[in-house]
Structure formats: structure tokens, C-alpha cells
């Protein structure tokens, strides 16, 4: 099973302060929009999403269909295929992708320690 590009999505209090901090660590703005209260920062193949006021806590995020440069992959496991695999292994899902749809979709789950995982397909 291939989950696509990996990033950590951080819930931040002050987007500007977080941006400055991560720039000090060598990250540069890769995507997002400060006026919409989120930025995607990149350092090599490491991705950190900074989200002000959008959700509680931090998320491990996977993007099926994308590589770490947000470029489309020729082949990938659709989020609904991943969802069926997780269900077949009795993994509890907190939210699910619409099985009747195609294209974009997402699901959420948590690991045994309560760490939240978002599988977010954009294409």
C-alpha cells in the first residue's frame, strides 16, 4: 500500500511566528496562503504544514497521488482502496471517503496512542 507524500500538519497559534521559526531551520514556503491562515514549508523532501486555527492538535498527513513536490504520480493507491484495506484489518476510521465517488477524498484514523492520521487525496 502506498500512501503518497508525507507531511506533518501542525496546529499553530501564530502563523507568522511559526513561519519565521521554520525558516530559521532552513524551510522555505512551498505552498499555501498566509491570508488563508496556512502555509506548506519544505526543506529537502521534508514537508511541514502550518495551520492557524483550522484544527486541534497535530496530524500525520499522507497525500495519495502526489510526490513530496506535489507532482502527480502516474500510479497510486486511491484513498478508497486504502480505506477498504484498513477496514479489512478492522482499523477503526474516524471519518471515511465516499465509496461512491472518485477523485478527491479523505479519511481519518488514529494510531494506538491517539495520534491523528489524515489521508487526504487531492486528485
What pLDDT is recorded for position 75? Answer: 94
Domain ranges within the chain, ordered by starting residue: 5-121
Give phi and psi for 83, each to the nearest 5: -60, -45
Fold of 5-121: 2,3-Dihydroxybiphenyl 1,2-Dioxygenase; domain 1 (3.10.180)
What pLDDT is recorded for position 1? Answer: 87
Structure confidence by residue, pLDDT tens digits, 12-55: 999 999 999 999 999 999 999 999 999 999 999 999 999 999 99
- The answer, yes or no, to whether residue 96 has pLDDT greater than 90, is yes
In the chain, at which residue ranges do the beta strands (DSSP E only) sit? 5-12, 28-33, 38-43, 46-52, 59-63, 105-110, 116-121
**pTM attached to this predicted model:** 0.88
Amino acid at each position: 500500500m502506498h500512501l503518497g507524500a508525507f507531511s506533518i500538519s501542525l496546529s499553530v497559534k501564530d502563523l507568522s511566528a511559526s513561519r519565521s521559526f521554520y525558516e530559521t531551520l532552513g524551510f522555505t514556503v512551498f505552498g499555501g496562503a498566509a491570508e488563508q491562515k496556512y502555509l506548506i514549508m519544505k526543506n529537502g523532501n521534508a514537508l511541514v504544514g502550518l495551520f492557524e486555527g483550522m484544527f486541534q492538535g497535530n496530524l500525520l498527513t499522507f497525500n495519495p497521488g502526489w510526490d513530496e513536490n506535489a507532482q502527480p504520480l502516474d500510479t497510486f493507491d486511491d484513498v478508497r482502496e486504502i480505506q477498504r484495506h484498513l477496514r479489512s484489518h478492522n482499523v477503526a476510521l474516524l471519518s471515511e471517503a465516499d465509496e461512491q465517488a472518485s477523485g478527491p477524498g479523505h479519511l481519518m484514523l488514529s494510531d494506538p496512542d491517539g495520534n491523528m492520521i489524515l489521508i487526504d487525496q487531492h486528485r
